[in-house]
Amino acid sequence: MVSSMVHVIKTKDLTKFFGKRNIVYHLNLNVPKGVVYGFLGPNGAGKTTTIKMLTAALRPTYGEIKIFEMEMPRERVEIMKSVGYMPEVPIAYEDMTIFEFLTYMGRLSGLGKEETREQAKELMKYVGVGRLALNKIKELSSGQKQRVAFASALIGNPELLILDEPTANLDPLGRIEFIGKIISLAKEGKTIFVSSHIVSEVEKMCNYVGLINQGRLIAQGRISELTRIEENEYDVATSDNVGALKFLREKPYVRESWEEDGMLRVQVDPRFLDEFFLQFPKYLSSQGIRLKLFRPHTSPLERILMEKFNIGEESD
Amino acid sequence: MISVLYLNEVYRLLKSRRLKVMLALMLLPVIVYFFTHEEITEYSAKALEISFQINVSQFLINFWASVIGQLVVIIIMSDLLASEIDRGTIRILLTKPIKKSEIVIGKFFSGVTAMVIIFGIPYLIMQIYMVLLYKSGFEGFRATFDDLLFATGITILVLGSLGAFSMLLSVILSRPLYASLASFGLVFAAQFILPQLPFFDDPERFNLSYQIGVLLKKGFTLHTGLDSYKGDPNMSALFFLSVILMSLVLTLLALYRKEYEG
């Protein structure tokens, strides 16, 4: 049943007030199956509150949540059979050993005794705490606790992973390792919903993104779609930028052209794109200028983010 | 799923230092009995049974189910759910396919199991010691075994109701310490302050120890001293059972209403 879903997570007008304070406002999330969805926003944007509603720790003030097309929190037990969750601050039973904790989590996820033990052993190795299996959780560093929390989210092989700021306590190497693991889990077909405020991380591991600021969803979609390609703006690098620039400045259909960090930026009147594509390469070849790079100018996610967040602030 | 949670909780309680300290505390009456036991004039299973009923009921009313025993139960039961809420681990539990009712019932029965250990072991040691003292062997053991089970059952019924009530307060207050203090405050007020008001007849019946006496009457028939405890044992049993059920239902409702921000 679960595998035929289009959207694994779908919220409609999800709203949360704490007293009179509005934390999340009319959030309409759509998380398609099989994507790594980066839930991106600054600190205090409402990411954790949203995740707490998705995991039934908080009740929405109004709005609805559907996970695997089942209603949360009404069908929580059924939904949670296919969900793994990692909180923003690693929470665990501090007096338990790592192995005890993971086996407990596995058993609660519905695994059999032997299966749980096997999975716990494998996952401890996978997240890099295999040698600490018999250490109590309270004896671990925050980074190690984070790894244990990740293993606990993975136990039971859930179809959907909800990870709240998963790299917060990891060192730089640990972060790289973690991103690699997320990418490989995504290749296995898992849907991963990961919140973060670090743009570069989201760019590396996610193919979908939802931008949240001040409790409002500002944009969501494929990263490639959001980082819009400005169709009439191109980055060009040649063996003789001065010569190329001379040609570009002579042409009336080139609205603007300038050199920036050893690269030419060209804005072309969209009505004359055909002429541009025909004449520019011809000119370069006639002048013996080699074309090193030619690509549409893409705005990076960070830039889009800043732009969108400014809009969000203005609208308040 | 409930069995996984129950067994884990019982294992956690058994490993805890707190349970060992409480067990040691509950062994005090047995140690007192070692040194102060009555002079034995008749070595028979019947004499043993009479002595067992008298001694156990005295210790139960005056120590095991008195303020100290009540405090022990409150501390254990308040911690079961409140510690999950306080540490935030309830959020982990809620992301597992386990029903909230299973959490409440699993936790309650793990607390009851801890109570059986804390109170049952001293009763058992006392029984074995008395069997040896009365030189009545297996026959004496068998004769007093029903009484042992009855005393344990009464303890669990009365103190279990207090424990269930503490669990309810612990979910409302979310902190084990606050819940323990609130439970103890309320129970203390109900037992010792409320009866001081001039509106109640037989104010001693508000006392849990007194109610233990009323309930023991039903099974400890050889101990005629218990007749001084006025009241119907069946009604008392029904009352404590209702308190347990009502507290568990309200705990479940509180858990449904609660939000976990931490």
Question: Could you report the per-residue pLDDT of A83-105, keeping only the tens digit for each?
Answer: 999 988 877 788 899 999 999 99
* Residue A229: pLDDT band with limits 50, 70, 90: low
- Strand ranges, E, within chain A: 7-18, 21-27, 30-32, 36-40, 62-67, 70-72, 83-86, 160-164, 191-196, 208-213, 216-222, 229-238, 254-260, 263-268, 291-298
* CB-based contact, B19 to chain A, within 8 Å: no
pLDDT band at B105 (very low <50, low <70, confident <90, very high): very high
Interface test with A, best of B96, B100, B102 (most A CBs within 10 A): B96
B91: nearest CB among A81, A83, A91: A91
Q: Identify whether B122 is preceded by a cis peptide bond (ω within 30 of 0).
A: no
Q: What is the pLDDT of residue A192?
A: 94
Average pLDDT over residues A227-234: 66
pLDDT in tens, A57-85: 999 999 999 999 899 888 999 999 999 99
**Do residues B231 and B212 lie in contact, with contact meaning Cβ atoms separated by under 8 Å?**
no
- Among candidates B12, B88, B96 on the partner chain, residue whose Cβ is nearest the Cβ of A80: B96
Q: How many residue contacts between A and B have a Cβ separation below 8 Å?
A: 69
Q: For an interface test with B, which of A76, A83, A136, A159 has the most B Cβ atoms less than 10 Å from its Cβ? A: A76
Residue by residue, DSSP assigns A46-68 as: SHHHHHHHHTTSS--SEEEEEET
Cα–Cα distance list, A250 to A72, A176, A244, A274, A278 (Å): 62, 48, 10, 17, 15
C-alpha Rg value of chain A to the nearest Å: 24
- Residue A3 CB burial class (10 angstroms; 0-12, 13-18, ≥19): exposed
Q: CA B104, B182, B254, B206 torsion: positive or negative?
A: positive
Mean pLDDT of B168-179: 89
In a domain, B35, yes or no: no
pLDDT at site A22: 85
pTM: 0.82
Tell me, what's the ipTM? 0.84
Measure the CA–CA gap between A200 and B73, rounded to whole angstroms: 53
Taking CA–CA distances from A61, the nearest residue in chain B reads B259
Give the span between the Cα atoms of B200 and B207, in whole angstroms.
Answer: 13
Give residues with Cβ within 8 angstroms of B203, minimum separation 6.
B194, B195, B196
pLDDT at B96 over 60: yes
Residue A240 contacts residue A247 (beta carbons within 8 Å): no
* Position with higher pLDDT, A187 vs A310: A187
Using only C-alpha atoms, chain B has a radius of gyration, in whole angstroms, of: 20
pLDDT 10s digits, B204-244: 778 888 889 899 888 887 777 777 888 889 999 999 999 99
Whether B124 is in a domain gets the answer yes
CB B195 within 8 A of CB B206: yes
Domain regions of chain A by residue span? 2-225, 229-298
Q: How many domains does chain B have?
A: 1
Order the strands of the A291-298 sheet from edge to edge: A254-260, A263-268, A229-238, A291-298
pLDDT of A231: 58
Residue B37 placed within a domain: no
- Work out the percent of chain A whose per-residue pLDDT is above 70: 91
Q: What kind and span of H or E run contains B256?
A: helix B233-257
Q: Higher confidence at residue B137 or residue B77? A: B77
- Do A57 and B99 lie within an 8 Å CB cutoff? no
The encoded tokens of residue B178 equal 């606050």
Asked if residue B12 is part of any domain, the answer here is no
**What does chain B come to in residues?**
262
Tell me yes or no: is domain A229-298 CATH 3.30.70: yes
Fold of A2-225: Rossmann fold (3.40.50)
State residue A312's pLDDT score: 43
The DSSP code sequence of A159-210 is SEEEEESTTTT--HHHHHHHHHHHHHHHHTT-EEEEEES-HHHHHHH-SEEE
Mean pLDDT of A174-200: 88
Q: What is the pLDDT of residues A147-172, one digit of tens each?
A: 999 999 999 999 999 999 888 878 88
- Site of tokens 């609205």: A255
Which range marks the domain in which residue B90 is found?
2-7+18-30+42-257
